[in-house]
Chain A
Amino acid sequence: MKPELQTYKSLIKAFVRADRTARIAQRAAERKQQLALLTYRRMNIAREQAKKDIDPSTRMKLIKDMATLNKRVEILKQKAPENDKKLLFVQDTSFLRDQILSAQDDRHIQHLEDIAAFVDNQREYDELIERYNPGARMSQEEKVKRTANKVGFQMPS
């Protein structure tokens, strides 16, 4: 294999791996946000339903809305960003391809290899830090909950 091709391959690999972790985390955050929003809307509908003086047509509409919301929540909960095949590809390869094609000398190729090595090492460093400090990314809410659990308490829901 040509050295350029080898470098291109390692660049793509490094970028895919690094982006994948970040994008999974981003999607998980987005999902959490959407779930919170849907729960809020469900709560609103439930509150409406609890009212006594509503006519049957509105009641029907509320039930329907509730059903669609429940469905959306179900779908969202089933979606696991880890399984998304799209995350196994670089979104935009043309930039990297241009870089490789414009690389004329060994020095430039070496530079691109340094970039791949940097991206790889940075990702592994992040992974290690996360593995050894599981609390670092935890939300304050989660930390409080776990602290309470430790002494046998539960946070009010």
Chain B
Amino acid sequence: MSGLLRYSRNFTGALHRQVRWYASPVSPAGVDDAVDKLKTETNRLSQIAKKFWDQVSVGENVQNGKLVIQLDKKPVRTPLGNHLAVDKDRKILARLLQKEWSNISHGSVKTHALPLTSLIARCIDLEAANAEGAHPDLKVKIGGNRNELSNSLLRYLDTDTILVFSPRDELEGKLRAAQDDMYLPIIGSVEKFLSQHSDKPISLQILDADLHGLRGNAQKPETLAAARKFLDSLSAWDLAIFEKTVLTTKSFICGILLLQNKASTDPAKGLQYTMEDIARAATLETIHQTERWGEVEDTHDVDKRDIRRNVHAAAIAAYKA
């Protein structure tokens, strides 16, 4: 009887684990979002549109030595109920998270206002859901099944921005020249990089508008296999960052570039790029088209900032000293 009671309590506990508003999963996979109807501090914030805390601080967890972001001494929690905490040697990241929360001046906060918090929360939750012995429900809740994540991310390699070339007669060939200049070296280095995960040399399928016209692009099975191996080699934390980068830049290759430059101290040869380069590579066509036709207000300017803030947030989260 007591066993049954305990079981039912566990069950309701799992049901009551709340998904909070600021870290809605970015995964395109179907995610059950009926869970965020519960009364929690963060849901309260989005509903009553009023700041309900005075002090934002960074505290230290005595047990694991992590730095925890706190609102009035209570830890901020991620969608799965984990503490929003970072390693002790990442003081500046903790500081930035604290800043994000203390700079909220009004209650009606939207998800877009806390990009770093939502990314770090995703990292923490993905790690927790994929830890050994974690409840399988957790993965479903945040769309954290690594196999499904890989599947959806691999689709971005087929139609990667970096692999699509515009016709030579467009914009007097300026755009094509810039693409050749920027993309070709990246493609060469990424092919070499992916070959490490395969026994055959990898060649990426590009889509040249002059040769192939208007059609979709698809990679060869061995390329996809190598890319999948690369994804499997990533830690859960890095995978969350990779996901964010790919969804922002619409480019699998940009994800590789970002992780190579930030998550490893020794980026592979030919893959050294700054974050601005990555953002530029992802929006090269937009840059050239707006140069010719002009910017549309509330579209190009907002997108430009959006991509850059997300790429830089991912870079900050990925950084390993």
**B-binding residues in A (CB < 8 A):** 15, 18-19, 22-23, 25-26, 28-29, 95, 99, 107-108, 110-112, 114-115, 117-119, 121-122, 124-126, 128-129, 132, 136-137, 140
Contacts and interface: CB of A to CB of B under 8 A. Distances in A.
A63 to B, nearest CB: 36
Contacts of A132: 297-298, 302
The 10 tightest CB contacts between A and B, nearest first, are: A25-B105, A118-B312, A22-B103, A125-B305, A121-B309, A121-B308, A132-B298, A26-B105, A122-B309, A114-B315
Interface of B: 49, 92, 95-96, 99, 102-106, 108, 110, 112-113, 115-116, 262, 265, 274-276, 297-298, 301-302, 305-306, 308-309, 312-313, 315-316, 319, 321
Most A-side CB within 10 Å, residue of B99, B103, B104, B301:
B103
Contacts of B297: 132
Contacts of B306: 125
A137 B315 contact: no
A128 B108 contact: no
A125 B315 contact: no
B302 A125 contact: yes
A118 B321 contact: no
B309 A114 contact: no
A141 B110 CA distance: 19
Given A108-B321, A117-B308, A128-B302, 4 more contacts: A117-B276, A119-B96, A125-B305, A128-B305
Contact of B316 (A107, A108, A111, A126): A111
A121 B305 contact: yes
Nearest to B267: A107
B137 to A, nearest CB: 34
Given A110-B274, A111-B319, A129-B112, A18 B103 contact: yes
A111 B108 CA distance: 31
A16 B104 CA distance: 15
B321 to A, nearest CB: 7
B108 A137 contact: yes
A25 B103 CA distance: 9
